[in-house]
Amino acid sequence: MPISVRLPPRVEQKLAEYCVSHKVTKSEAVKLALEELFAQVPLTPDAYRASAKFRGSDKRPGSVALNSKSILQAYFRNKQSVG
């Protein structure tokens, strides 16, 4: 499947230098780089790692899941009295 990619000049220069020194075409070099990238990084992150930025964002003591109703009531009670 052919694709087209626009590279910044410095990346294109490094690619050209790599291809000359390793005696491969640009296409071969890009294919090898992508294969190496995919071997290092899993394509589908598990749900636990994908949710990392959302976990632990509430610093209040106790379980937010068990106390969500009272936490929301207190939040809206305070918001209404301020405004």
All structural domains of the chain with their residue ranges: 9-40
Confidence grade of residue 72 (pLDDT, cut at 50, 70, 90): confident
pLDDT: is 82 or 49 the higher one?
49
| For residue 9, pLDDT beyond 80 | yes
Q: What is the mean pLDDT of residues 12-25?
A: 96
Q: What is the mean pLDDT of residues 18-28?
A: 96
Q: What predicted TM-score, i.e. pTM, was given to this entire model?
A: 0.49
Q: List, for residues 29-66, the tens digit of each pLDDT value.
A: 999 999 998 888 766 667 777 777 777 666 767 777 77
First to last CA, the chain: 59
Q: Which single residue is written with the structure tokens 């190496």?
A: 36
| Residues in contact with 19: Cβ distance below 8 Å, sequence separation at least 6, in sequence order | 25, 26, 28, 29
Helix (H, G, I), strand (E, B) or coil at 36: helix
pLDDT at 83: 47
